[in-house]
Amino acid sequence: MDHESLRAQFPALQQQLGDYPLCYLDTAATSQKPLQVLEAMESFYRTHNANVHRAAHALSSKATSAYEDVRDALVNFLGAARREEIIFTHGTTEAINLVAHGLRGQFNAGDLILVDSAAHHANLVPWQQLAKATGTRVLPIGLDAELRLDRTAFRALLAQKPKLVALSQVSNALGTVNDIQALCAEARAHGAMTLVDGAQAVAHMPVNMAELGCDFYAFSGHKMYGPTGVGVLWGRYDLLAGLEPLLTGGEMIKTVSFEQTEFGELPNRLEAGTPPIAEVIGLGAAIEFLQTQDREALMQHEAGLLNYLQRELAAIPGIHLYAAHPDNIGAVAFNFGDEHHQDIGILLDQQGVAVRCGHHCAMPLMGLLGVRGCCRASLGIYSNKADVDQFIQAMKACADMLQ
Ligand code: PMP
């Protein structure tokens, strides 16, 4: 694999911040974008910008084809059964809200939803809202001593017959990985629906809906080298068809009169209003970009780099790593002594290093770690050893300054 030429395709990475080259270790928050994505979006706006689905004119039918082609690309990318199972949203957050809102009519007082303790708020708050509206209970699935999902606790909770289990595939805060296939099979055996937040997974590994065995899967374009403002909800056709739409209005209807409205079919039924057309096209370019890479080699590259990062960081006296397992994906979470994580972030920034510091939209998880927040360094396919070395050197300089 020619990693340098792959990295060269990301223009934002080729910059200096003062005396330092940019060391971008915040890919879990949002990834940088390759030229292919930038060019696809610009070309759309320059050449065939038009609204989709609505007009007979040539530009609109080109825009519609380009938009719908991305749905087909996603069928292939996700191993979906049919194109109607792909719903474009504005991101993971909207995708999960769409399900949690859409299922309200199917939940009653006393029903139970289980949520992964490491879940991003986007995969917790919508379930709390559903609970508030219906009297459903939301319970956390605990973590074991290694800060992985506690399988024994999970089994005990499944015995209470939850109606839905919401899991993250990869924790955005820690980089820990859930065995989605096994967890979904167990949940299904107990009659529960499953929703998987794949926001931190899709950019790092191939995913296949038939293999994972979940019922809903959500992710964002901007974390997988695509643009912001677009995300995807995949769901089993029958379950999607049973969702009450979150948004209503244009595009999603069959007939409308002042007395009543009949909603249209999937996928339009769940895509009200003008969709993020250029963003969907950008996402299509990101998928094409990923599919033309040697993903197996990239996974090995990322795994090797993450392990190197974990080792080098652990060797700095005063550093505390959280759940830094060798099989984690994409991210390492840490604190330094009793220093505030934001202070570390500022000192690293002064040396050209971009990391994330805070609660990572996982406040319940921070509570379990016994901290208010931490720093997180995260990797993408373009990250290289020089990034890790620059970060480690900067972290050592912070340590010297603070001790
Ligand atoms: N889930 C996870 C695991 C995430 O990392 C994020 C983004 N930080 C989200 C959900 C929310 O994604 P978005 O803000 O793109 O909707």
Do residue 340 and residue 203 come from a single domain?
no
215-261 per-position pLDDT tens digit: 999 999 999 999 999 999 999 999 999 999 999 999 999 999 999 99
**Does the pLDDT of residue 15 top 80, yes or no?**
yes
Q: Which residue's alpha carbon is nearest to atom 12 within ligand 1?
A: 92
23 included as an active-site residue: no
Residues 49 and 195 in one domain: yes
Does residue 64 form part of some domain?
yes
Amino acid at 20: Y
Considering the domain boundaries, does residue 220 fall inside one?
A: yes
Tell me what percent of the residues of the chain surpass a pLDDT of 90. Answer: 99
Residue 376 near ligand 1, beta carbon < 6 Å: no
- Expressed as residue numbers, the domain containing 302 is 3-25+294-402
**Same structural domain for residues 194 and 287?**
yes
Residues 359 and 210 reside in one and the same domain = no
Helix (H) or strand (E) holding 319, with range, is: strand 319-322
199 lines ligand 1 (CB under 6 A): yes
Reported as a single tens digit per residue, the pLDDT across 287-331 is 999 999 999 999 999 999 999 999 999 999 999 999 999 999 999
Candidate from 26, 167, 200, 360 with most ligand 1 atoms within 8 A of CB, to mutate: 200
Q: Of 266, 274, 240, 268, which Cα lies nearest the Cα of 252?
A: 268
Report yes or no on 301 lying in a domain.
Answer: yes
Do 163 and 137 lie in one domain? The reply is yes
Q: How much is the pLDDT for 54?
A: 77
In the chain, the amino acid numbered 53 is: H
Query: Looking at residues 363-392, what average pLDDT do you find?
Result: 98
- Identify whether 32 is part of a domain: no
**Strand-strand pairing, 261-263 and 253-256:** antiparallel
Average pLDDT, the chain: 97
pLDDT attached to residue 400: 96
Q: Judge if 20 and 45 occupy the same domain.
A: no
Q: What is the pLDDT of residues 83-92, one digit of tens each?
A: 999 999 999 9
Note whether residue 30 is domain-resident. no
Q: Are strands 231-235 and 86-89 parallel, antiparallel or unpaired?
A: antiparallel
From 389, 85, 113, 358, select the one nearest 210 (Cα to Cα).
85
| Ligand 1 atom 6: residue of nearest CA | 199
**Which residues have CB under 8 Å from 129's CB, separation 6+?**
100, 101
Please provide residue 273's backbone torsions phi and psi, each rounded to the nearest 5 degrees: 80, 175
Least confident among 15-29, 44-58, 149-163, 170-184: 44-58
CATH number at residue 191: 3.40.640.10
Q: How far, in Å, is the centroid of ligand 1 from the Cα of 196?
A: 12
Q: Is 251 in the pocket of ligand 1 (CB under 6 A)?
A: no
The last residue of one of the domains, among 256, 291, 326, is 291
Inside any domain, residue 112: yes
Beta sheet of 164-168, edge-to-edge order? 86-89, 231-235, 216-220, 193-197, 164-168, 112-116, 137-141
Rounded Cα gap, residues 342 and 197, in angstroms = 27
Please state the atom number of ligand 1 nearest to the C-alpha of residue 94.
16
Ligand 1 atom nearest the C-alpha of 231 is 15
Q: Alpha-carbon distance 176 to 182, whole Å?
A: 15
Q: d(Cα 187, Cα 196) in Å, to the nearest integer? A: 12
Report pLDDT for 9.
98
| Dihedral sign (CA 387, 390, 396, 400) | negative
Q: Is the CB of 200 under 6 A from ligand 1?
A: yes
In SS3 terms, 85-133 reads as HEEEECCHHHHHHHHHHHCHHHCCCCCEEEEECCCCHHHCHHHHHHHHH
How many domains does one find in the chain? Answer: 2
Query: 92 CB under 6 A from ligand 1?
Result: yes
Same domain, 254 and 358: no
Encoded amino acid at 37, one letter: V
**Residue 261 and residue 193 in one domain:** yes
Query: Do 379 and 310 contact (CB within 8 A), yes or no?
Result: no
- Token pair listed for 92: 């993971």
The residues, ordered by sequence, that sit 6+ positions from 275 with a Cβ below 8 Å of its Cβ are 52, 67, 88, 251
Check if 31 has its Cβ closer than 6 Å to any atom of ligand 1: no
**Token pair of 313 as six digits:** 């960081």
Ligand 1 atom index nearest CA of 90: 16
Per-residue pLDDT band for 334 (boundaries 50, 70, 90) equals very high
Nearest atom within ligand 1 for CA of residue 93 = 16
Answer whether 172 contacts ligand 1 (Cβ < 6 A): yes
Atom in ligand 1 nearest the alpha carbon of residue 95: 16
Among 231, 259, 291, give the residue marking a domain's end.
291
Q: What is the CATH number of the domain that holds 16?
A: 3.90.1150.10
**Strands 193-197 and 164-168: what pairing?**
parallel
* Domain stops at, among 245, 272, 291: 291
Ligand 1 pocket mutation pick from 30, 174, 220, 228 by most atoms within 8 angstroms of CB: 220
CB 398 within 8 A of CB 341: no
Q: What is the pTM of this model?
A: 0.98
Q: What is the DSSP string of 235-302?
A: E-HHHHHTSPPSS-STTSEEEE-SS-EEE--TTGGG--SS--HHHHHHHHHHHHHHHTS-HHHHHHHH
Q: Are residues 68 and 12 in the same domain?
A: no
pLDDT in tens, 126-153: 999 999 999 999 999 999 999 999 999 9
Which of 214, 361, 374, 398 is an active site residue?
Answer: 361
Q: 220 C-alpha to center of ligand 1: Å?
A: 7
**65, 96: one domain:** yes
Work out whether strand 353-354 and strand 216-220 pair parallel, antiparallel, or are unpaired: unpaired
Residue 31: inside a domain:
no
Please give the structure tokens belonging to residue 274.
Answer: 């003008």
What is the spatial distance between Cα 287 and Cα 294, in angstroms, rounded to a whole number? 13
Is 197 a pocket residue for ligand 1 (Cβ < 6 Å)? yes
pLDDT of residue 388: 98
Q: Based on the domain organization, do 12 and 45 belong to the same domain?
A: no
- Check whether residue 279 and residue 313 sit in a common domain: no
Instruction: Say what angle helices 125-134 and 92-102 make with each other, to 10 degrees.
Output: 20
Amino acid at 101: H
Q: Is residue 33 part of a domain?
A: no
